[in-house]
Structure 1
Amino acid sequence: MNVLVVNAGSSSLKYQLLNTQSGEVFAKGNCERIGIDGSFIGHEEKGAGKSTLEVALPDHRTAIKHVFEILETVDAPVEGIGHRVVQGGWYFPESAVVTDETLAQVREVAPLAPLHNYAEADVIEICRDMFPELGNVIVPDTAFHYNMPERAWRYALPRDVVEKHHVRKYGAHGTSHRFIWRTVNEFMEGKAHKLVSCHLGSGASLCAIEDGHCMDTTMGLTPLDGLVMGTRCGTLDPATVFYLSRVGGYSIDEIDTMMNKQSGLLAVSGVSSDSRDVCEGADKGDENCEMALEMFSYRVGQLFAEMAASMGGVDTMAFTAGIGENSVELRQRVADKLAWLGVEIDPELNAVRSDDPRVISTPNSKITCLVVPTNEELMIALDVEALLG
């Protein structure tokens, strides 16, 4: 089945057209600066290289219309559309076919992810209007975490507050973590039972997966919780917000922006939110960059232990996403933090570059360590195929 996977943000729209059986990617691209001057579409087609189209994109309707016009030249008809939805809220324990009801639910839970859900809901509506003959499927990032144990998702807040405002741990990166489990289980021939999936990128989270079921994850009500990330601070004392407001004089919106867009590696290093730049700075002796890397790997090691505790042990770990798949140095730093658990990775295996899943731990390591390239688009497309046939 040929599936178009769409991922909309507040001012962007990424797309990929692929086949679920072969995994072949026919075309992919991104619409950038939607609603902003200087908008463009970057498009890449199999066998035709990359191209950039400078075009006015006043809204998402215009953007998706251009995408379909571009895809008309691709020799692979679209047979279904899958939509990555960041927040499924309290409605989506699994992916769902788009109906009037499910689309309304995506909008209802949008306050939990306002920059993404509203845009994706608009795109879903546009796709239904423009191409009523095509089925659409909602694939929420939170669905994989929906049925984690209550002890993990519940916050110790008054029950009436929790129930009225649906306050709980929702997590994120669930589609990626689900793909990692699927791939690891196949690669390890069913020998992995307690996996900590390490999705380490500009946004980062860990997930404890026991025999395919999420037991806990590091992101919480929003993707701000957990690890130190590119521009996000990760877990800190919640009273920090009150202190910055009362004593620092910052507004709630200013604190929100600070913690989501001005913190993390960017704030600690003072150089960049990109780990590659931070690693380069540390190599040149920049103490702030070194501290940023130390804090990042320390938090991964610390929360790795929390994830292991949620399963009563761990036998496998998998590095994935931008940092997890590509940073030899940060994988080694994380492994060093977990040496007390018996983690030992082989420097030569760790240095290998590959697009395939691979083991990087030594035979003596008590935990099997892998690098597994994630493929959220394929996972979304497979859900589309399963629901639409």
Structure 2
Amino acid sequence: MNIFVINSGSSSIKYQMIKMPEEALACSGIVERIGSGDATITHNTYKDNEKQKHEAQSHIRNHVEGLQAVVDLLTDSKIGVIKDTSEISAVGHRVVHGGEKFSNISVVTESVKEEIKKLFPLAPLHNPANYRGIEVAEKVFPAAKQIAVFDTSFHQTMPEKAFRYAIPNKFYKENGIRAYGFHGTSHKYVSAKAEEYLQKKDIKVITLHLGNGCSVAAVKDGKCIDTSMGLGPMNGLVMGTRAGDIDQSIIFHMVREMGISVEQVNNILNKESGMLGLTGANDMRDINKAVEENGHDAVLAMDIYAYRAQKYIGSYIAALNGVDAVVFTAGVGENDVNTRERICSNLDALGIVMDKEKNRATGIKGVKDISHTSSKVKILVIPTNEEMEIARQCYQLMETNK
């Protein structure tokens, strides 16, 4: 069974085709700068564990043209992986916000699409683009089952004491204002991998998804009991351009005393804060270079970044009443040895002790154990694969509904 996974952005389409149940990656790629005169397509095919990269530039006016260009590559006589679109059994769509309505994946129907549209205000940067991807895929892959996989669904197991805010009840009951959490597909994937690696059931895991967007989750017995992001993806850890946790009084001060509009404040906290606001850069490679040069702003920013993560680790150990493993994943979590070292420092009282040599070792594939022999808690680096997790869930749904 061929599962085609789509992550549709406002001007991009990321995709993978995965053969199930073998979990074999057939192709992957991204269409970027849709709507501009210089849109690009990077398409990778995989055969005998070897990747072949194909790049093209084209005038792609919209997502329909973008996805059609991908289909042309999928069915190309020389590099194609299928003969025609009828060989795609299901299209799995990443949808960022599912609200309380969707606690599991869902076959896309007209009513499901209407619910996704209702959630546009909660994820204005993501859900409209995800919705557009569904509508385009319905036209391009008419024979395939369209399936929505929600970032928020993994976090729907949080108890009410974790997801409710201490504001008047009517705002929750009438407006759905509560913590939903994000990066759920990633947290689900790596927490399951940790359980598999440790060969232990009912484990307690803290997963740190550290990329340009960052979040942390407390997972017990495979279920999320708390997570750092809230109503939207701005809360919690310090991120590439997002502030994370902030005193609400700052927002009112900026509006009332400084004359900054609400729209500007939203833009500042979303796109101009975090590591970018503190250092002028949001790429950890650039920030680490500045740290090496002893740049004060960069050093302070890294201290703030690590300190915030440490506080969440400590609080989630309390929430879990112990922890078996701390897991690092996503771009920064998987690749930045310095960030991992900073976060794991001074946590020995919690039983978390890193082996610095293991942390800096390269060439390790799969799960990387970087905990010291004296550590009571395993420290693991696990590459995330959200597309594979989406494909798995789609395949299971297709098999169940046979």
Q: TM-score, normalised by structure 2?
A: 0.94
Contact 2:67 2:140 in 1 (8 A): no
Query: Partners in 2 of 1:137 and 1:189 — Cα distance?
Result: 31
**Corresponding residue of 1:75:** 81
Query: Partners in 1 of 2:307 and 2:171 — Cα distance?
Result: 34
Q: Does the C-alpha gap of structure 1 residues 43 and 75 become closer, same or farther in structure 2, counting only changes over 3 Å?
A: closer
Q: What is the correspondence of 1:203-222 to structure 2 with a 5 Å cutoff?
A: 203-222=213-232
Deviation at 1:373, TM superposition (A): 0.7
Deviation at 1:364, TM superposition (A): 1.0
Contact 2:351 2:377 in 1 (8 A): yes
**Corresponding residue of 1:32:** 32
**Corresponding residue of 2:350:** 341
How many residues of Structure 1 are paired with residues of Structure 2 in the alignment?
388
The one-letter amino acid paired with 2:348 is A
2:379 counterpart of 1:376:
no
Show CA shifts across 1:19-51 (max 9, x none).
233332211111111223422212112256222
**Corresponding residue of 1:291:** 300
Q: Does the C-alpha gap of structure 1 residues 268 and 78 become closer, same or farther in structure 2, counting only changes over 3 Å?
A: same
Query: Partners in 2 of 1:286 and 1:363 — Cα distance?
Result: 34
The one-letter amino acid paired with 1:329 is N
Contact 1:7 1:15 in 2 (8 A): yes
Query: Partners in 2 of 1:191 and 1:100 — Cα distance?
Result: 39
Instruction: Supply the RMSD in Å over aligned alpha carbons.
Output: 1.4
2:109 counterpart of 1:99:
yes
**Corresponding residue of 2:273:** 263
**Which residue of 197, 202, 206 corresponds with 1:187?**
197
| SS class of match (2:157) | coil
Deviation at 1:171, TM superposition (A): 0.4
Q: Percent identical across equivalent pairs?
A: 37
Bigger mean CA deviation after superposition, 8-17 or 69-78: 69-78
Query: Partners in 2 of 1:347 and 1:235 — Cα distance?
Result: 29
The one-letter amino acid paired with 1:186 is E
Query: Partners in 2 of 1:57 and 1:288 — Cα distance?
Result: 41
**Which residue of 342, 350, 355 corresponds with 2:359?**
350
* Structure 2, unpaired ranges of 5+: none
| SS class of match (1:180) | helix
| SS class of match (1:146) | helix
Contact 1:193 1:211 in 2 (8 A): yes
**Corresponding residue of 1:56:** 59
Deviation at 1:191, TM superposition (A): 5.3
Deviation at 1:95, TM superposition (A): 0.8
Query: Partners in 1 of 2:348 and 2:259 — Cα distance?
Result: 43
Query: Partners in 2 of 1:25 and 1:130 — Cα distance?
Result: 21
**Corresponding residue of 2:371:** 361
Contact 2:21 2:395 in 1 (8 A): no
Show CA shifts across 1:157-179 (max 9, x none).
11112222110000000000000
The one-letter amino acid paired with 1:333 is R
Query: Partners in 2 of 1:48 and 1:225 — Cα distance?
Result: 37
Q: Does the C-alpha gap of structure 1 residues 238 and 366 become closer, same or farther in structure 2, counting only changes over 3 Å?
A: same
| SS class of match (2:88) | coil
Show CA shifts across 1:274-308 (max 9, x none).
11110111001111111111111111001111222
Query: Partners in 2 of 1:227 and 1:48 — Cα distance?
Result: 35
Deviation at 1:388, TM superposition (A): 1.6
Query: Partners in 2 of 1:35 and 1:159 — Cα distance?
Result: 43
The one-letter amino acid paired with 2:255 is S
**Which residue of 327, 350, 360 corresponds with 2:336?**
327
| SS class of match (1:155) | coil
Q: TM-score, normalised by structure 1?
A: 0.97
Contact 1:297 1:337 in 2 (8 A): no
2:313 counterpart of 1:310:
no
Deviation at 1:192, TM superposition (A): 6.1
The one-letter amino acid paired with 2:370 is I
| SS class of match (1:75) | coil
| SS class of match (2:29) | strand
Query: Partners in 2 of 1:119 and 1:268 — Cα distance?
Result: 30
The one-letter amino acid paired with 1:54 is Q
* Structure 1, unpaired ranges of 5+: none
Contact 1:298 1:337 in 2 (8 A): no
Query: Partners in 2 of 1:316 and 1:141 — Cα distance?
Result: 22
The one-letter amino acid paired with 2:302 is L
**Corresponding residue of 2:69:** 66
Contact 1:20 1:378 in 2 (8 A): no
Query: Partners in 1 of 2:37 and 2:175 — Cα distance?
Result: 37
Deviation at 1:240, TM superposition (A): 1.3
Bigger mean CA deviation after superposition, 307-316 or 4-13: 307-316
| SS class of match (1:227) | coil
